[in-house]
Amino acid sequence: DFGERKGQAERMLGLMDVFLKNDPISLQKDILHHVEYTVARSRFSFDDFEAYQALAHSVRDRLIERWHDTLIHFKKEDPKRVYFLSLEFLMGRSLSNIVINLGIRDQFADALSQLGFDFEVLAEQEGDACLGNGGLARLSACQMDSLATLDYPAVGYGLRYQYGLFRQVIVDGFQHEQPDYWLNFGNPWEIERIHITYPVKFYGTVTDEFLNGEKCKVWVPGEMVEAVAYDNPIPGYGTRNTINLRLWAAKPSDQHDMESFNTGDYVDAVVNRQRAESISSILYPDDRSYQGKELRLKQQYFFVSASVQDIFRRFKDTHKKFDEFPEKVALQLNDTHPSLAIAEVMRVLLDEEHLSWHRAWDIICKIFSFTTHTVSPEGLEKIPVDLLGNLLPRHLQIIYDINFNFVEELKKMIGLDYDRLTRMSIVEEGAVKNIRMANLSVICSHTVNGVSRLHSELLRTKLFKDFYDLWPHKFQYKTNGVTQRRWIVVSNPSLCALISKWLGTEAWIRDIDLLIGLRDYATNAELHQEWKMVKKVNKIRLAEYIEAMSGLKVSLDAMFDVQTKRIHEYKRQLLNILGIIHRYDCIKNMDKNDRKKVVPRVCIIGGKAAPGYEIAKKVIKLCHAVAEKINNDNDIGDLLKLVFIPDYNVSVAEMVIPGADLSQHLSTAGHEASGTGSMKFLMNGCLLLATADGSTIEMVEEIGQDNVFLFGAKAHEVVALRKKGPTLKVPLQFSRVVRMIRDGHFGFEDYFKSLCDKIEGTSDYFLLGADFMSYLEAQAAADKAFVDEERWTKMSILSAAGSGRFSSDRTIQEYAENTWDIQPCRCPF
Ligand code: GPU
């Protein structure tokens, strides 16, 4: 029908400029236009927040242009696409990231300054989008940035939670959780697509019926809700490509609950209808613990079902034969959370498209790939059969059928090894019968990957050994990465400028391998001077934040020593705190002369504990109790300070990371699948103090042993150490600091008792005692290096220079080539 409307279209083009202009006058006009007509404030009177809103809308307009062009280009080219399914995306703020990727940051900054506004001040007005918990969720966000930048035809799918991750508030040293109703002030970065909706069904029964003489299953659902699309354009850097992150929100469906309307209970029926929205209302705040909650399962199916319908709709727009499906579609499962997609695609192919089991299964085996992010068997998601059977009766049948076929095949291959058959089955027998989502995902995916080399090794030899022995070709490793656009360009503009100056190009922002060029100047005195200046600027910013937040003044000459990440026993924030107590104790017992040799430290700890994770919450309280004691001890002064940074999130990280001299990554070896925080610190020239775990092993390979403070047992030693149990000798220094806590040096001794019990004797599962001396030695080595400014600066430069491998661009490139088999599809300028 375009032909008919051609005349009209030409007239429309004549009325509009082809693209919005980016000169200062056009930008100012645009911002003021949005002040007046979008924000609906007078252009003669508006505050910083309103200015931010107007600015955001002006940026959004430019973003939408590119997004449209990209979607049209993809549609025309019809390339194979990757659909990235993730229940969590931790996007943080968008404004700075978007204008930088669009290449119009400076233009906007100039335009704003002519209006009397400061770009940075307005950028601070934006709230974080915290639709995720931690590393896994932030990884999804970094990967979307790389997918867009590398021109890959990708779509992200997730849930549009109304409440993001809780806000952490500290009261008397205890963590309290407050709701994050982040949409309160509107969200300029999303586009509501009221016409893109799909029905999602739950409950009900499955019956056998005959269709054209063939027996088939018919699912008669008991409840229906509507999924509405909210699109979040993700711009690439140095490209016009702007891809889509489609998040689904639940809305009541007109067919939700016809029954109660018919029975005349109108008001109750409306109230009941409204409950549909609760499906997408809240993000579960538990990092890697699964509680078998129905709402969580509903969330998983809700987003999977809507996404799968969307994918089928797009495919069927241009294709008739399902055999072409694997040539056009790659489905990436970000952990097991979206793994119901396997059963859902199968169900659609069987029950709605009426393919034979054989043909449908053949397609399944070609389209799914699965990334797992955990090391421990307890971390693997299980769903009680009763729960699944009640909510999704047809899916349970399909999973049973998949399992039946699998086990039959398996018997042919390995014989009647019942132990192994039991371990590999999708169904876990026991008091409560469970579906093992990881087994389902491994069996149905063509590729399974861990997130670092060590992690993949552990998958092959432990977690998924049985599967590896069967299908070695399925297993790959993809070391995680983070995007340098967010973690250098946005968060550390001074370092960004410095790198570009010394490399003589900004090309490293797209081509991270160039960063290695900094090595040539690792001992250059001029660079050293400038490098130290940049660190100083960032330390000042962080020190000001600390003072504003806690009233504590910290010395800029001190080493800023940071450990920020979710609070977990295996991440051993407790080891850090014990080390700090030890340091405090040592200083207290020193004479004047020795005190002069102490390297002053500002120890910074931050991170959220899952609301139900008691031990983690005690760690937070202990940190505050120890800080209270140390920071108020006049005898200590600037030699040691301890700060807990509340509500650690993406935007706080953007400020903390560039200001750190040293960062700590203390997981017991073999427990951190990868770790991505460390990569952000590395890129920013912070030295690492770390165990040989997850991705740190690979970092050491890139920057050399001499440039990292490594400590602790290696992964292969951990099991043996644990076996030693009570005969394992713990150092006196360790017992002494634990005793100080037990004796009430920091108060609350009753409250901390269970924490101490967890790390003494046979119960020290994470081996704090065993690693303590080695930890103290690494800390001493860090002190020694820090006083030698030249050496420290060189190590810092080499850290950043060697961080290239940890860009998500490299990771995504590997997925594209070895897992998804997709090609770039670049939108012409
Ligand atoms: N991770 Br499982 C999470 O953040 N949440 C989870 O529920 C699980 C894993 C993390 C890993 O702990 C971390 O090592 C990894 O770098 C990150 O996922 C991304 O792969």
**Residue nearest (by alpha carbon) to ligand 1 atom 19:** 136
Atom in ligand 1 nearest the alpha carbon of residue 676:
16
- Residue 5 burial (CB < 10 Å; 0-12/13-18/19+)? exposed
Q: What is the pLDDT of residues 631-646, one digit of tens each?
A: 999 999 999 999 999 9
pLDDT at 269: 81
pLDDT at 264: 72
> What is the arithmetic mean of pLDDT over 775-803?
98
Q: Which of 629, 633, 657, 634 minimizes the C-alpha distance to 645?
A: 657
If you measure from the C-alpha of residue 672 to the centroid of ligand 1, how many angstroms do you get, rounded to a whole number? 8
If you measure from the C-alpha of residue 451 to the centroid of ligand 1, how many angstroms do you get, rounded to a whole number? 9
**Residue nearest (by alpha carbon) to ligand 1 atom 3:** 136
Report the alpha-carbon distance of residue 106 to residue 230 in Å, rounded: 29
If you measure from the C-alpha of residue 374 to the centroid of ligand 1, how many angstroms do you get, rounded to a whole number? 6
Averaged confidence pLDDT in the chain = 95
pLDDT at 211: 82
Enumerate the active-site residues. Answer: 373, 565-566, 571, 676, 680
Q: How confident is the model at residue 265 (pLDDT cuts 50, 70, 90)?
A: confident
> What is the arithmetic mean of pLDDT over 22-46?
96
The percentage of the chain sitting over the pLDDT mark of 90, rounded to a whole number, equals: 91
Q: Is a pLDDT exceeding 60 seen at residue 317? A: yes
Atom in ligand 1 nearest the alpha carbon of residue 672:
14
Query: What is the ipTM metric for this complex?
Result: 0.99
DSSP assignment letter at 729: P
Q: How confident is the model at residue 288 (pLDDT cuts 50, 70, 90)?
A: confident
Q: How confident is the model at residue 206 (pLDDT cuts 50, 70, 90)?
A: very high
If you measure from the C-alpha of residue 436 to the centroid of ligand 1, how many angstroms do you get, rounded to a whole number? 19
Mutate to test the pocket of ligand 1, among 140, 288, 339, 456 (most ligand atoms within 8 A of CB): 288
Mutate to test the pocket of ligand 1, among 143, 332, 374 (most ligand atoms within 8 A of CB): 374
pLDDT at 253: 87
pLDDT at 12: 60
Q: What angle, rounded to 10 degrees, do the helices at 340-347 and 393-414 form? A: 100
Q: Is a pLDDT exceeding 60 seen at residue 258? A: no
Q: What is the pLDDT of residues 461-510, one digit of tens each?
A: 999 999 999 999 999 999 999 999 999 999 999 999 999 999 999 999 99
If you measure from the C-alpha of residue 333 to the centroid of ligand 1, how many angstroms do you get, rounded to a whole number? 14
Atom in ligand 1 nearest the alpha carbon of residue 451:
20
Q: What is the pLDDT of residues 546-591, one digit of tens each?
A: 999 999 999 999 999 999 999 999 999 999 999 999 999 999 999 9
Contact of 196 with 217, CB cutoff 8 Å: no
If you measure from the C-alpha of residue 331 to the centroid of ligand 1, how many angstroms do you get, rounded to a whole number? 20
> What is the arithmetic mean of pLDDT over 786-796?
98
Q: What is the pLDDT of residues 57-83, one digit of tens each?
A: 999 999 999 999 999 999 999 999 999
Q: Is a pLDDT exceeding 80 seen at residue 15? A: no
For residue 710, what are the CA distances in angstroms to 2, 659, 665? 65, 21, 10
If you measure from the C-alpha of residue 136 to the centroid of ligand 1, how many angstroms do you get, rounded to a whole number? 4
Quickly count: other Cβ atoms within 10 Å of residue 291's Cβ. 8
Q: How confident is the model at residue 268 (pLDDT cuts 50, 70, 90)?
A: confident
**Residue nearest (by alpha carbon) to ligand 1 atom 9:** 373
Mutate to test the pocket of ligand 1, among 136, 482, 691 (most ligand atoms within 8 A of CB): 136
pLDDT at 728: 84
Atom in ligand 1 nearest the alpha carbon of residue 374:
2
Atom in ligand 1 nearest the alpha carbon of residue 480:
20
Q: How confident is the model at residue 149 (pLDDT cuts 50, 70, 90)?
A: very high
Beta strand residue intervals within 684-763, DSSP E = 687-691, 709-711
Q: Is a pLDDT exceeding 60 seen at residue 699? A: yes
Which residues are CB-contacts of 670 (< 8 A; sequence separation ≥ 6)? Answer: 375, 454, 458, 693, 715, 718
Element of type H or E holding 209: strand 205-211
Q: Is a pLDDT exceeding 80 seen at residue 459? A: yes
| Residue 213 backbone phi and psi in degrees, to 5 | 80, -5
Q: How confident is the model at residue 519 (pLDDT cuts 50, 70, 90)?
A: very high
pLDDT at 650: 98
Its sign, for the CA torsion 250, 251, 254, 259, is positive
DSSP letter string, 234-254? EEPSSSS-EEEEEEEEEEE-T
Atom in ligand 1 nearest the alpha carbon of residue 694:
14
Judged by average pLDDT, the poorest of 115-124, 203-212, 578-587, 706-715 is 203-212
pLDDT at 17: 64
- Report the chain's terminal Cα–Cα distance, integer Å: 26
**Residue nearest (by alpha carbon) to ligand 1 atom 13:** 675
Element of type H or E holding 387: helix 385-391
Mutate to test the pocket of ligand 1, among 140, 287, 373 (most ligand atoms within 8 A of CB): 373
Report the alpha-carbon distance of residue 379 to residue 376 in Å, rounded: 5
Two tokens, residue 438: 């990881």
Pocket lining for ligand 1, CB < 6 angstroms: 133-136, 139, 287-288, 335, 373-374, 379, 451, 480, 672-676, 694
If you measure from the C-alpha of residue 291 to the centroid of ligand 1, how many angstroms do you get, rounded to a whole number? 18
**Residue nearest (by alpha carbon) to ligand 1 atom 1:** 136
If you measure from the C-alpha of residue 721 to the centroid of ligand 1, how many angstroms do you get, rounded to a whole number? 25
What SS3 string covers 597-609?
A: HCCCEEEEEECCC
Q: Is a pLDDT exceeding 80 seen at residue 532? A: yes
What the chain holds in terms of domains, given with CATH numbers, is 78-93+128-478 (3.40.50.2000), 539-550+557-812 (3.40.50.2000)
> What is the arithmetic mean of pLDDT over 718-747?
93
Contact of 445 with 459, CB cutoff 8 Å: no
Atom in ligand 1 nearest the alpha carbon of residue 287:
7
Q: Is a pLDDT exceeding 70 seen at residue 256? A: no
Contact of 457 with 465, CB cutoff 8 Å: no
**Residue nearest (by alpha carbon) to ligand 1 atom 5:** 136
> What is the arithmetic mean of pLDDT over 514-519?
98
Beta bridge partners of 615: none
Q: Is a pLDDT exceeding 80 seen at residue 259? A: no
